[in-house]
Homo-oligomer: A and B are copies of this chain.
Amino acid sequence: MNYPTVIQDLIECFKKIPGVGEKTAERYVLSLLEMEEETLEHFSNQLRNLKKNIVRCKICNNLSENDVCEICKDQSRDHSTICVVEEPKNVFSFEKAGTYMGTYHVLDGLISPLEGIRPENINIPSLLKRVEEEKIKEVIIAVKACVEGETTALYIAKKLEGTGVKVSKIAYGIPLGADMGYIDSSTLEISLENRQQIS
């Protein structure tokens, strides 16, 4: 005998989420059983609405409830600076940090010749169009430090050459508060290379 069908079925649903295995899904479903029916009803509704209510912003491609996202709509932000990120969640990480006041552009991937991902397969054309049409002063590339990230950054920089738009990339180095003993050697190398003079 296995769990009753409804439970087993919900376990299978949870298992579809990357990183959730049999045991975890089981634990989740059994603890949901102890919640109020209203809580589950609400949970169920939100799940149903998720895909229906979320679209991509037609300007920056970020997750949004409307055609144009809250960030692109916000006139108090600096619309002459674009921070280019790989995924929507990166936008929210920067927003949580709370100091960046420009706009974003979500690529939905990085250029990867090995995997056959070309500039036109990700949202680079729309970025170049934005730079062309809007009054952009700076494009900040904020993608992870890896071959694909480097390639993407270089491609964008090359494409914007001669347009007078400043292209920069975020600083790579030792995270604040990190124990030096646990930092990998490539990061140590880059932190030495990008050292800044203090006096």
Contact residues of A with B, CB < 8 Å? 1-7, 9-10, 13, 16-20, 26-33, 35, 37, 39-54, 63-65, 69-71, 74, 87-89, 92, 95-96
Contact = CB atoms under 8 A, between A and B. Distances in A.
Contact of A95 (B2, B27, B89, B95): B2
How many identical chains are in the complex? 2
16 contacts: A1-B92, A1-B95, A4-B54, A6-B53, A10-B43, A10-B46, A13-B43, A16-B35, A16-B39, A26-B92, A33-B51, A35-B51, A40-B47, A41-B48, A43-B47, A44-B47
A31 B63 CA distance: 13
Contacts of A70: 1, 4
Given A13-B42, A29-B50, 17 more contacts: A2-B92, A4-B53, A4-B54, A4-B64, A4-B69, A4-B70, A7-B50, A7-B54, A13-B39, A18-B31, A19-B28, A20-B28, A30-B88, A30-B89, A35-B51, A37-B52, A44-B47
Contacts of A87: 30
Contacts of A50: 6-7, 10, 29, 32-33, 40
B54 A13 contact: no
